[in-house]
Homo-oligomer: A and B are copies of this chain.
Amino acid sequence: MSAKIPVIEMFGPTIQGEGAVIGVKTMFVRTYGCDYRCSWCDSAFTWDGSSKDKRVMMDAEEIMSGLTELGGNRFDCVTISGGNPALIGEGLSELIDLLHERGIKAAIETQGSRWQDWFLKVDALTISPKPPSSGMSTDWEVLDSIMERVRTSGKGAHSLKVVVFDDEDYKYAAKVHHRYPDIPFFLQPGNDNVTEEGDISTRLLSKLEWLFDKVIADPDMNAARVLPQLHALIWHNKRGK
């Protein structure tokens, strides 16, 4: 009997807009449920109850069929995001194995609040601890333990990404980077309004320039990388892109 995964949406192929795998063609699977409630979450429908009736329980084979129906032969990477996919154990472990059997890479985005053994099987593991503006607080002990385990796995497929909305967030990002100096580190400007309709690219680019300027001036950020959310520049706040 295969384990079930709560899925709230699947879409793609599209282009990964963020982090270490920016620009990669990928399908997306979004799991339902989160242990966080970030004030500016751009996917609050995965945890705020508004879309709970759209959640479907699926096993790895069913997800694979759904992805193939959507993407045909036009992808070789699947990104699993949430919500927090690290709330799910066996089901995602089985999905990652199935993807690998088919020659497909698995990318994961999670905030670093929970460990799962399948982290070590992932081809691109993005750990994205949430800064003060989220309203959440970081359990450093848990994060230390996660970073230690991925670091010693030797696979080198992991990175840290911090979203920055304001100066306080930037200080938090610097703390994260300083704490795990050997882990590839990405900074990303936050989207201050995730419900605004129409073209938001000018606002986002101006926030990116603000973050560029801070990093350029800061000798403690020489090894950091600063990237936008490409999908938001192109498709704005539209869902399922």
Contacts and interface: CB of A to CB of B under 8 A. Distances in A.
Interface string A121-137: 00000000000000000
B22 A216 contact: no
A208 B186 contact: no
Given A201-B202, A205-B234, A209-B234, A222 B22 contact: no
Contacts of A219: 72-74
Interface string A204-238: 01001100100111110111111110100110000
A183 to B, nearest CB: 15
Nearest to A199: B202
A223 B186 contact: no
Interface in A25-47: 25
A contact face: mostly helix, strand, loop, or mixed: mixed
A24 interface: yes
A49 interface: no
A14 interface: yes
A23 interface: yes
Contacts of A118: none
Contacts of A208: 230, 233-234
A73 B234 CA distance: 35
Query: For A23, A74, A75, A230, which residue has the most chain B Cβ atoms within 10 angstroms?
Result: A23
A202 to B, nearest CB: 7
A146 interface: no
A226 to B, nearest CB: 5
Given A22-B23, A22-B227, A201-B205, 9 more contacts: A22-B22, A23-B186, A23-B227, A25-B215, A25-B224, A201-B201, A228-B230, A228-B233, A233-B233
22 contacts: A14-B212, A15-B212, A22-B22, A22-B225, A23-B186, A25-B215, A25-B216, A73-B222, A74-B218, A75-B222, A76-B222, A199-B202, A201-B201, A201-B205, A205-B233, A205-B234, A208-B230, A209-B234, A212-B234, A228-B230, A228-B233, A233-B233
